[in-house]
Chains A and B, each alone.
Chain A
Amino acid sequence: MKTIAFGQYYPVQSPIHRLDARIKIILAILFIVCTFLCKNILCFAALIVAALFLIFMSRLPLGTVLRSIRPLIFIMIFTAVLNLFWTTGETPLFEWWRIRIYEEGIYSAVFMVVRIIVLVLGTGLFLTYTTTPIALTDGIESLLSPLRVIRVPVHEFAMMMTIALRFIPTLSEETGKIMNAQKARGVDFSEGGLIRRAKALVPILIPLFVSSFRRADELAMAMECRCYRGGKGRTRMTVPHLHARDFVALVVMVAFGAGILYLNRLGIGYSVP
Chain B
Amino acid sequence: MAQPFIHTKDLWYSYREDDAHSTPVLRGISLDIARGEYVAILGHNGSGKSTLAKLFNAILEPDSGELTVAGTDLASPELTEDEIFALRREVGMVFQNPDNQLVATIVEEDVAFGPENLGVPSAQIRARVDAALAAVGMSEYAGSEPHRLSGGQKQRVAIAGILAMQPSCMIFDESTAMLDPKGRREVIETFERLNREQGITVLTITHYMNEAARADRVIVIDDGRVLMDGTPREVFANTEALLAAGLDVPQCTALVHALRREGVALTGEPITTEECAELICRALEVQ
Contacts and interface: CB of A to CB of B under 8 A. Distances in A.
A contacts B directly (C-beta below 8 A):
yes
Interface of A: 1, 4, 132-134, 162-163, 165-166, 169-170, 173, 214-215, 218-219, 221-229, 233-239
Contacts of B120: 235
Contacts of A173: 147
A237 B112 contact: yes
Nearest to B113: A226
Contacts of A218: 95, 97, 100-101
Given A134-B106, A226-B162, A229-B85, A234 B117 contact: yes
B101 A219 contact: yes
B101 A235 contact: no
B128 to A, nearest CB: 9
B77 interface: no
Contact of A229 (B99, B105, B117, B146): B117
22 contacts: A134-B104, A134-B105, A165-B105, A166-B103, A166-B104, A170-B147, A214-B100, A218-B95, A218-B100, A221-B59, A222-B93, A224-B59, A225-B59, A225-B88, A226-B162, A228-B113, A234-B116, A234-B119, A236-B116, A237-B108, A237-B125, A239-B122
A225 B92 contact: yes
B129 interface: yes
Contact of A162 (B89, B93, B103): B103
B94 to A, nearest CB: 9
Contacts of A226: 88, 92, 103, 113-114, 117, 161-162, 165
Given A235-B116, A237-B115, A239-B122, A227 B89 contact: yes
B191 to A, nearest CB: 16
A238 B147 contact: no
Contact of B165 (A162, A221, A227): A227
For A4, A133, A163, A169, the residue with the greatest tally of chain B CB atoms inside 10 Å of its CB is: A169
Contacts of A225: 57, 59, 88, 92-93
B122 A237 contact: yes
Nearest to B128: A237
B109 A237 contact: yes
Given A226-B162, A227-B165, A235-B116, 16 more contacts: A133-B105, A134-B104, A134-B105, A134-B106, A134-B109, A162-B103, A166-B104, A215-B100, A218-B100, A219-B101, A225-B57, A225-B59, A225-B93, A234-B116, A234-B117, A237-B129
* Chain B contact patch, size range: 35 or more
Contacts of A234: 116-117, 119
A169 B106 CA distance: 13
B101 A222 contact: yes
Contacts of B115: 235, 237
B121 interface: yes
Contacts of A221: 59, 95
A239 to B, nearest CB: 5
B118 interface: yes
A223 B59 CA distance: 11
Contacts of B112: 236-237
Contacts of B214: none
Contacts of A166: 102-105, 146-147
Nearest to B97: A218
B126 interface: yes
Interface in B136-155: 145-148
Contacts of A236: 112, 116, 122, 125
A215 B103 CA distance: 11
Sorted nearest first, the 5 A-B pairs with minimum C-beta distance are A222-B101, A237-B112, A218-B100, A237-B125, A169-B147
A177 to B, nearest CB: 12
Contact of B95 (A4, A162, A222, A239): A222
Interface in B71-85: 85
B122 to A, nearest CB: 5
B79 to A, nearest CB: 15
Contacts of B145: 169
Given A235-B121, A237-B125, A163 B103 contact: yes
A224 B115 CA distance: 13
